[in-house]
Amino acid sequence: MSNNTDTKKIGDMGERKASKLLIEKGFEIVERNYHSRYGEIDIIASNDKYIVFAEVKTRNISSIARPCEWVDKKKQKKIITTALLYLQNNKTELQPRFDIIEVEYDRITSVIVNIIHIENAFDCGGYYS
């Protein structure tokens, strides 16, 4: 199996776990892997108050950095632009929110050992004001 295939399988595993966590918190999964010409949003979920655009980062527990540290300003801007396009095409009264879900796994056992949901992890920060 190639490294790309391994990375995809690990990412899919993390996204499934993140989706399950959101459902347990009362969210409905609206979309997974929503693509636009600007980028991709891993999970779009909603509850009675929020529409959440969630970036899932799955990393080995022994990684040098926390998974959320891989969501830099450039990645945030792609997510925000893609979310704005989604909202233009899918009207809602819900409050948009950008979350990051960190999934840490043990590479040896392929078991997820930790999941952290960072609500409101970033905002538009003046990109589109």
C-alpha torsion sign, points 114, 119, 124, 125 = negative
pTM for the full predicted model: 0.91
Q: Which domains does the chain have, with CATH numbers?
A: 3-122 (3.40.1350.10)
Average pLDDT for runs of 10 along the chain of length 129: 70 94 98 95 98 95 88 93 96 96 91 94 70
Dist CA 114 CA 103 (whole Å)? 6
So what's the pLDDT on residue 1?
44
So what's the pLDDT on residue 129?
43
- Asked whether the beta carbons of 14 and 58 are under 8 A apart, the reply is yes
So what's the pLDDT on residue 8?
83
Dist CA 22 CA 27 (whole Å)? 5
Dist CA 110 CA 104 (whole Å)? 10
